[in-house]
Amino acid sequence: MRHRPVCLTRLAVLTSLISALGALGHADTPPLASGVWRIGSEPLRWEAGRGFAGAISSIRFRGREFLDDADHGRELQGAVQFGWGECLNPTLAGASRDRAGSSTSQLLSIRAGPASYRASTRMAFWNPPGSPCTLGPGARSVSLNRSGVSALIYSQDMTPGYQGHPNAVLDQIAIRTPRALPPASAEALTGYMPPDFDTFILYDRQTGRFGQDSALVSQAGERGQPLILSTADGRSAMGVVALSTATEPRYAGFHSAAVAKWSLVYHETDPFTAGVHRYACVWIIGTRREVQDTMADIVRRLAARTTGEEVLLAALAGVTLIVGGGLLVALELRRRRRPLTPL
């Protein structure tokens, strides 16, 4: 067996101690907002911690923590990338160099009700102006933003109990920009979780079956199917389903020794026009089985609603065709009854 040098061991112990003390101090800091939602007869406790500009930093259910808040790029939050990776990357919770308890992002409003949470935030750029940044895998550059805070405003409205499911939370998201910007990849909602959420499960909407995707554990990637992250024993899980589908939703997954991640991503191919860009999704919590059952029911209802809308549109198109055709016939008969116009 190889032994670590004593100096490194002491350094590791000291680092762990400092980290623990920092976490303790952070835990003692009152949150910006907090609440308790009922999942059946059980409480779900959430917090928007101080220093994260409105991002949800803690979700505790059945005695365990579902989120990781080790830095300002984690939590339950949103972000946008404009084609240059992290080099032009507005982020809800703050910037990469923000210290605990503070955020470069600017919280504009926050409101917590008995069964709701609303917040609006001007997003910070992830990297300070002119600082080194990551363009993509193996590619480095310098951040392109000229200020620490972007012009983008991220707003969200969370409500538990979607479609009668106590463990399903509707999250309506709006990203506002005052001017047109290049095409964007909008991470409408992302959940960073402890690393023991190491089982990635996809829901095949065509077959109605759930299947494990071990490839996402070893390599970050995107899929076209709703995603669940679960502990290996299935006792704790969180999943996400997109409701807005004007742009094809993508479900991203990532895992490392430090953190696990799910993300709902929209790759907008058209310019990110001035105005409000709206996204909606449902995140689901519980055991793996509970999350799967709720997800399957929500997807079935979405499919039924979509089919109903398609039938209605087809019927309206048919009525339009019939009415239009009848009008053309009437006009033709009227034309034939008129005297011929001289040349």
Domains of the chain: 28-306 (2.70.98)
DSSP 131: -
Summarised one tens digit per residue, pLDDT across range 196-215 is 999 999 999 999 999 999 99
Phi/psi at 284 (5° precision): -125, 140
Identify the burial level of 323 via C-beta atoms within 10 angstroms of its C-beta, where 0-12 means exposed, 13-18 middle and 19 or more buried: exposed
Do the Cβ atoms of 171 and 244 come closer than 8 Å?
no
Summarised one tens digit per residue, pLDDT across range 246-305 is 999 999 999 999 999 999 999 999 999 999 999 999 999 999 999 999 999 999 999 998
Give every CB contact of residue 50 below 8 A, 6+ residues apart in sequence.
Answer: 29, 30, 31, 32, 101
Q: Which of 161, 49, 159, 67 is nearest to 107 (CA)?
A: 49
Q: Which of 175, 181, 180, 184 is nearest to 83 (CA)?
A: 184
Q: Place 5 in a pLDDT band, splitting at 50, 70 and 90.
A: very low
Do the Cβ atoms of 240 and 226 come closer than 8 Å?
yes
Give every CB contact of residue 181 below 8 A, 6+ residues apart in sequence.
Answer: 82, 271, 272
Q: What is the pLDDT of residue 327?
A: 54
**How much is the pTM?**
0.82
Task: Give the chain's mean pLDDT.
Answer: 87
Q: Place 12 in a pLDDT band, splitting at 50, 70 and 90.
A: very low
Please give the structure tokens belonging to residue 250: 């993508």
Sign of the alpha-carbon torsion through 256, 121, 29, 126: positive
Instruction: List the beta strands (DSSP E) in 185-242.
Output: 185-193, 199-204, 209-212, 221-223, 227-230, 237-242
